[in-house]
A and B are shown apart, each in its own frame.
Chain A
């Protein structure tokens, strides 16, 4: 089976685009990815288009109407916050199968404004009567499990936001590029204890795209800036006794990570950097352990040590993460990979991780169930 290589990556600056449609955003990112590798949309054999809110409207087809209707297979995918990783996973399967030499994975979203809610239910609205269905509350509760078990502090959770906001100041494509000292993070509006407003992801619009090719095509194009996809895993949540009342970000992630490490033939010690799903500050703490970056119960001390900051032993979310780069749901998973590819190419500017060769991306999707995507990339 052919290996799969990323040769083109594109991402629009994340923010608000009141005058653009979600499919125009997808087209912008796609054209950037094509230009990045010198290919045309006419070279693309299959398209995988991701959006949480607009996949059903045939995002991929609408995008192709903007940039060239070549008649190729288009698959529109929706898988909550793991939608983008799902599109890339499908692109990977398409290359590995040998059916295609060049495929496109693109994610785009114009997020609804305001707090994102769970699905409506029969009967009275549950919020406040049957606890909370808001995403901040769900991740606050998941974080409190860690706090209860290991004594993780509010300041340690808040430190995630301090770090990621600092990283974002070095990313011209991040939506929010402002330092937020610890006192400011902890003093910002309390949303759901222990999560303050600055510990919740930035709700923005965005799009990102990757051109993935076979080994044969990669060699033809030249491996100079190519990145090899070493591991790709996509999982759904296994049975957990507390589900679905207690959404569990951990088991679905651990399942995906184990598969990706095995496929890549490597482990956490081999990674140079990680882009993980910091939808809320508590999530990043949990995922340090889920991804094996530190031992069980050590995540609070791990963030305190500076290991996950730029310059540390395993920088996490140097892009600014979802907390400050932004979280346009269906684009997020692809955008995480664009950051890793920029880094492995040595093209990440002020936030460059020195000598980065291997990087991991992780996303977690929550609805009435869960999905996790983990991908491992290596400089070709």
Chain B
């Protein structure tokens, strides 16, 4: 995901990773002692306090809708309404993201969804480097 300017894209979220070839993925961390997963690197396990730092792994991009809210009022400049969703990814790890393309009446717990990388709303940092973000859509096909 290199930009027109040739600048490398940057991760737009604490859990997005962008490889040298521009491919993006979600990184999780799993404790080797208790199996707990977390979205950010920590010095010890948040769950069992094991001093072996949880090891990075590449997360699945498919999952199921856990809960959501339809946001109608937000901060100035934010387009509403949108669906703010919490998704449990397959293999562990839960993320909050905007769920697109699903009608309110079709929202239900357990709905299969998948994560799609995007341009984080077209935003870029001070040097012009674009960001890589993500959102969710319905469906479980890769």
Chain A residues near B (Cβ < 8 Å): 115, 117, 121-132, 134, 136-137, 140-142, 144-145, 148-149, 189-195, 239, 241-242, 244-246
Contact = CB atoms under 8 A, between A and B. Distances in A.
Nearest to A121: B14
A131 B97 contact: yes
B69 A132 contact: yes
B112 interface: no
Interface in B83-133: 84-86, 88, 92, 94-98, 104, 108-109, 120-121, 123, 125, 131, 133
Interface in B53-104: 66-75, 78-80, 82, 84-86, 88, 92, 94-98, 104
Contact of A246 (B78, B94, B125): B94
B84 A137 contact: yes
B134 A241 contact: no
A127 B85 CA distance: 12
B95 to A, nearest CB: 5
A127 B78 contact: yes
A124 B78 contact: no
A142 B37 CA distance: 21
A190 B74 CA distance: 11
B11 interface: yes
Contacts of B137: none
Contact of A130 (B10, B79, B109, B134): B134
B2 interface: no
B36 interface: yes
Interface residues of B, number: 45
A191 B80 CA distance: 10
A278 B85 CA distance: 23
A246 B93 CA distance: 11
- Greatest chain A CB density within 10 A among B66, B68, B98, B134 is at B68
Nearest to A123: B12
A194 to B, nearest CB: 8
Contacts of B95: 245
B39 interface: yes
Contacts of A144: 67-69
B96 A193 contact: no
Given A141-B68, A141-B84, A145-B67, 7 more contacts: A123-B11, A124-B133, A127-B78, A130-B97, A191-B72, A193-B70, A241-B36
B36 A128 contact: no
B7 interface: no
